Amino acid sequence: MSTEAWTTVLVILSFILYLYIGWRSRVKDSKGFYVAEQGVPAVANGAATAADWMSAASFISMAGLISFMGYDGSIYLMGWTGGFVLLALLLAPYLRKFGKYTVPDFVGDRYYSNVARLVAVVAAIFVSMTYVAGQMRGVGIVFSRFLQVDINTGVVLGMVIVAFFAILGGMKGITWTQVAQYFVLIIAYLIPAIAIAWILTGNPIPQIAFTFSDIVDKLNQVQVDLGFQEYTRPFTDKTMLDVLFITIALMVGTAGLPHVIVRFYTVPSPKAARYSAGWALLFIAILYTTAPAIAAFARYNLVDTLHNKTVAEIQQLDWATKWENTGLLGFEDKNNNGRIELTSEQDTSEITIDRDIIVLSTPEVARLSPIVIALVAAGGLAAALSTASGLLLVISSSIAHDVYYRIINPQASESQRLLVGRIMVGFAIAIAGYFGINPPGFVAQVVAFAFGLAAASFFPVIILGVFDSRTNREGAIAGMIIGLVFTTFYIVGVKFYGMNPWFFGVSAEGIGTVGMVLNLVVTYVVSRLTPPPPREIQKMIEDLRSPEDAPLALADIGEEELD
């Protein structure tokens, strides 16, 4: 069968599996809808967390960015994996012990303030909508190439699938669907990596092939011959300061991502949260240690396959023609010499490659079996849909639980809360679809913005909320607003209005570090200049850090005490 036929079969089979799991996991109460009844085993939650966290950016775009950026692309490896370690060690067990449904729920109760809760809701929606834009673009790219449909049609198809298991099963349906999606995406990532490693180096283990073979030396020489810097030369694409700031932003942004944090509310206890974090890190490491190898293999194969080939030879490559039809791969014989040449100068290079196609096209470039190529497409969809579903639930819960139930109608019945939650998921899916059709950048770039916003808004108030009982509501509100506004202004100005990166040349992807520091300083200083939190809040935070694994009894604060 053809690649498209195999892709259709595997995508339909995987979608049937997701729909079946969603139907079997349907829920009838808000606890099941928001935190999967807090009954997910640690191993399963680890797999679900890995799938939730390893989005289309990790599966589709990260290796592409590393492939183009070389050494500087390691910021994504260091930032995202380091951030998960930070989250697992410093935050996850304490947040689970706090026993709430969402990050805004934690902020609202910890800082005894509905204003703080609303600011956290705005930040959660802002971060999640920015993040989900990258996922929907990933869905559109996969459908566009492998099912030969319009990107917009692909986005709509993805929206329908996510809507089914997210609206019907809430967090419970999403969790068990993500477990299945993790195994789909990791198998899809490893099989071509193993095959290409064997073809290029004679070693089937990608990590070892990348480290101990001569493939990187060959790639370095090819790069130099074409006028590029060596692949392994540092700080060619970004300055050392920018690399540092982006890495920190990705790291603390990971620790502040609401859709990842909420996963630790779904396990039975703080101890299970620690174990699930460990399992998640293991599951994540399998892909993240493979990505640099995929990036190098893909770069080498693409240059070897496309550079200095005649126009006729390019046209005979079926995969190149089909990717060209998507608009994500382009060829132009600018000097009319009958050959297509890749150069380091944008004006003279006759090949244009969208970074988001690197992983998806690599099995085709390496001439692997059509079923392997189709499997990669199914894996890309699994990665995008798993994260999109988690993000959509964050948006839904932020409005339905943190605004509607906690502020507008505290007497709402279970059926009312569930109905509002499902309506909000549908509304969020519609907005996500719009961003998927009108994406503001590369998948990984868009996701990097979300990490920066999470770093500048959530991380300081969460870390101080757990480890500093003196931090109060005034400080938290001021810090979140300052961090979020500053970071948003810088990102929007640089990316959409042509503003120069005036803060020492730090890019929009790295400015979240500055926003985080501003938030941290403002929160700390304002908290010291204003009255301390009530004694019961301070006692609650001290109990939160105790080694006991029992659930935390939240301080008894009446609604009238919340501003």
CATH number at residue 46: 1.20.1730.10
Q: What is the DSSP string of 394-409?
A: HHHHHHIIIIIIIII-
Decide: helix, strand or coil at residue 334.
coil
Least confident of 53-62, 101-110, 319-328: 53-62
The rounded percent of the chain whose pLDDT value lies above 90 is 23
User: What is the per-residue pLDDT across 389-419, written as a single tens digit (0 to 9) for each?
Assistant: 777 778 887 888 788 888 888 888 878 887 8
Cα–Cα distances (Å) from 133 to 55, 75, 261, 397, 479, in that order, read 11, 21, 20, 18, 26
Supply the pLDDT for residue 443. 52
473-496 and 443-457 helices, crossing angle to 10°: 150
Supply the pLDDT for residue 165. 66
Asked if residues 82 and 251 have their Cβ atoms less than 8 Å apart, the reply is yes
Specify the residue for token string 């998960």: 84
**Cα three-residue angle 154-155-156, rounded to 5 degrees:** 90
Distance CA 243, CA 247 (A): 6
Distance CA 374, CA 395 (A): 32
Residues 343-365, mean pLDDT to the nearest whole number: 80
Supply the pLDDT for residue 515. 95
72 has pLDDT over 70: yes
In a domain, 86, yes or no: yes
Q: Beta strands 339-340 and 309-310: pairing type?
A: antiparallel
In a domain, 306, yes or no: no
Six token digits for residue 160 = 């329908």
90 has pLDDT over 90: no
Mean pLDDT of the chain: 83
pLDDT band with cut points at 50, 70 and 90 for residue 431 = confident
State the maximum Cα–Cα separation within the chain, in Å, rounded to a whole number. 79
In a domain, 316, yes or no: no
* β-strand partners of 330: 352
Supply the pLDDT for residue 12. 85
Distance CA 331, CA 308 (A): 12
* β-strand partners of 310: 339
Distance CA 141, CA 147 (A): 10
Supply the pLDDT for residue 562. 47
Supply the pLDDT for residue 341. 83
pLDDT band with cut points at 50, 70 and 90 for residue 207 = very high
Distance CA 169, CA 317 (A): 44
In a domain, 80, yes or no: yes
556 has pLDDT over 60: no
Supply the pLDDT for residue 228. 85
In a domain, 324, yes or no: no
pTM to 2 decimal places = 0.82
Decide: helix, strand or coil at residue 439.
coil
In a domain, 374, yes or no: yes
In a domain, 326, yes or no: no
Distance CA 69, CA 117 (A): 39
Residues 337-344, mean pLDDT to the nearest whole number: 82
Residues 131-149, mean pLDDT to the nearest whole number: 74
Nearest to 311 by CA among 300, 324, 301: 324
Cβ-based neighbours of 419, under 8 Å, separated by 6 or more: none
Cβ-based neighbours of 541, under 8 Å, separated by 6 or more: 110, 465, 466, 469
Cβ-based neighbours of 86, under 8 Å, separated by 6 or more: 251, 252, 254, 255
Asked if residues 275 and 42 have their Cβ atoms less than 8 Å apart, the reply is yes
Supply the pLDDT for residue 530. 95
Supply the pLDDT for residue 122. 85
- Please count the structural domains in the chain: 1
Supply the pLDDT for residue 561. 44
In a domain, 361, yes or no: no
Cβ-based neighbours of 184, under 8 Å, separated by 6 or more: 14, 378, 379, 382
Which spans in 147-290 are helix H? 151-201, 206-212, 215-225, 240-255, 258-261, 270-288
pLDDT band with cut points at 50, 70 and 90 for residue 205 = very high
Range(s) of the domain holding residue 107: 3-298+369-546
370-399 and 3-24 helices, crossing angle to 10°: 30
Specify the residue for token string 């490693």: 197
Supply the pLDDT for residue 533. 94
Q: What is the DSSP string of 471-509?
A: --HHHHHHHHHHHHHHHHHHHHHHHHS----TTTT--TT
* β-strand partners of 522: none
Supply the pLDDT for residue 241. 93
Supply the pLDDT for residue 427. 83
